[in-house]
Structure formats: C-alpha cells, structure tokens
C-alpha cells in the first residue's frame, strides 16, 4: 500500500503544466531508476566475483 501511494505521489504533476510535462518527467525518472538498477547489478556481480576468488 505504501509503495503505491509513493508512486502515485511521484507521478502526480498536475500543477506544473506548461512548465513541465508529466510524460517527459516520468520518462526521465524511469531512466534514472534503470541506471540505478544497472549500477546495483554491476556491484552485485563484483561482489559475487570477489566471493568466488
């Protein structure tokens, strides 16, 4: 429940038009999440490699 509320709040950008477009901001937010997940995956791989060495 809390996660859904957080996501809804993050995507609620009704009052910012015409200065910001919700779809553009949402796309940028998703890009940041994807980059963060890639960094986490790289860190995980390094940790697993160091554990097996």
Give me the residue spans of the domains in the chain.
17-53
What's residue 5's pLDDT? 67
pLDDT tens digits for range 1-53: 566 666 666 666 666 666 667 778 888 888 999 999 999 999 999 999 998 86
d(CA 26, CA 44): 27
Give pTM, 2 decimals: 0.57
| 45 to 21, 34, 35, 52, 53: CA distances (angstroms) | 37, 17, 15, 11, 12
What's residue 12's pLDDT? 65
């Amino acid at each position: 429940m809390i996660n859904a509320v957080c996501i809804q709040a993050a995507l609620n950008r009704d009052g910012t038009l015409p200065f910001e477009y919700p779809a553009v901001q949402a796309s940028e937010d998703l890009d940041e999440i994807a980059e963060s997940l890639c960094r986490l995956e790289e860190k995980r791989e390094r940790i697993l490699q160091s554990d097996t060495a």
